[in-house]
Structure 1
Amino acid sequence: MPHKSPKICNTEECRELTYTTYCDKCRKDNHREYKEQRVDKKEQAFYSSLSWINLRNRKKRKNPLCEVCLEEGRLTPVEIVHHLTEVKDDWSQRLSIDNLQSVCKAHHHKIHFSVDGKKYTKLKKVREPMKDSKVTIVNGASGSGKTTYVQDHIEHGDLVIDIDYLWMAVTMLDMYDKPQHLTDIVLAMRNEACRVLQSKMDKGIRAWIITTAKDVDELKRMFNAEVITLDTGRDKCIERILSDTRRVGSTDKHIGLVNQWYGTE
């Protein structure tokens, strides 16, 4: 039994009550009309293909929240992966992840239909940062010296998004003491910091994002960022980890991460 109150269907002239954006009838009518627009057999076959399904799932993993809702300050799980440039308009872009956008059903509906069911617009792409803003992504394996690199190049007033220091700030524990039950919360705080930074890119902010992720294509696109990858070498990283007293008790975990980065595990 739903706990929230029903509301009037979002379709103009419809007065049905619903617990979602559209009542069942309007949602089915809109979906039927959308499918009828896709008459190209080649296009229909593509959307049933394994290559599309795999790419769609990859996009959902990279962007698990509706990108439009994020720009509007809301956290909504992705429901549909949308082509910014439609397949029928540019076949060559059908498998380009940069041409995809994670959206919720409500925003996907707005892409393809107005209140009278007619297609009217596409959602805008993620805003491009101003030229006077600069974001630098520094990535590398554990122990590669990412934080030291940023400390050597940072200027007064720069923003640094480093999840290790975020852990320290919100738990008051040592840098590598990270209670697992808080992981989702800290990651959400890091993601929200990135979202707010993106919304302020017209303010001329200089920022650094420190990460151990190897795949930073989405972050790079999001901020039009420069990427600096520190290739310190597996042996050197492990040597630093073993000599770092802060990592006592978690050395095996960090060495495992180094091996993953260099593909030796």
Structure 2
Amino acid sequence: MICKRCSRCGKRIQTGSKCNCSQKRYKEYDKDKINSKEKKFYSSDQWNKIKDKAKELYEYIDIYSYYVSNKLEYGQTVHHIVPIKREWEKRFALDNLIYLTESNHRVIHNRMENGEYNEVINELNELVARFKKEFDIEE
């Protein structure tokens, strides 16, 4: 049996199979979204379309890893730079989205929850601007 490591939790799994940690993660993440308006938003076709646009915009890479860690990694999660709990009207704003690996997504949320809220938002906005300038991207 050929195995690989899960990119999210590090658990050893058989090649070609999916780790069940993602199911657990989505259930836990869903608990945080007790707001039915947000639940409806995250399951909407409009969100799926803007999510796909964000992935394409960033060439499917995590620009946080690219600039901060000097690593080229494919993203896994589209993240709202300014959380929609704070600014609902920015939920579909492409310039408020960034594509991250799951581990960087956790890092970003932890930093925001531990007193670095404004610093993280400024940093992510600067990374987005740098990426767009460096690769001559216009929305």
Q: TM-score when scaled to structure 1?
A: 0.38
Q: Which amino acid aligns with 2:70?
A: G
Q: 1:69 aligns with which of 65, 68, 83?
A: 65
- Secondary structure of 1:81's counterpart equals strand
Q: Kindly report the root-mean-square deviation, in angstroms, between the aligned alpha carbons of the 2 structures.
A: 3.1
Shift of 1:35: 1.6
Given that 2:64 and 2:104 are in contact with CA atoms closer than 8 Å, whether structure 1 keeps it comes out as yes
Given that 1:34 and 1:112 are in contact with CA atoms closer than 8 Å, whether structure 2 keeps it comes out as no
Deviations 1:104-134 (A, max 9, x none): 11111223358xxxx5466431437xxxxxx
Q: Residue 50 of structure 1 corresponds to which residue in structure 2?
A: 45
Q: How does 1:107-122 map to 2 (within 5 A)?
A: 107-113=104-110, 119-120=113-114
Given that 1:78 and 1:102 are in contact with CA atoms closer than 8 Å, whether structure 2 keeps it comes out as yes
- Secondary structure of 1:125's counterpart equals helix
Shift of 1:92: 0.8
Q: How many residues align?
A: 119
> Taking structure 1 as reference, are residues 82 and 109 closer, same or farther at Cα in structure 2, changes over 3 Å only?
same
Q: Residue 126 of structure 2 corresponds to which residue in structure 1?
A: 127
Q: Residue 15 of structure 2 corresponds to which residue in structure 1?
A: none
Deviations 1:144-187 (A, max 9, x none): xxxxxxxxxxxxxxxxxxxxxxxxxxxxxxxxxxxxxxxxxxxx
Q: How does 1:222-261 map to 2 (within 5 A)?
A: none
Q: Which runs of 5+ in 2 are unaligned?
A: 12-18
More helix per residue: 2
Shift of 1:28: 5.3
Q: 2:138 aligns with which of 217, 231, 236?
A: 217
- Secondary structure of 2:99's counterpart equals strand
Q: Residue 27 of structure 2 corresponds to which residue in structure 1?
A: 32
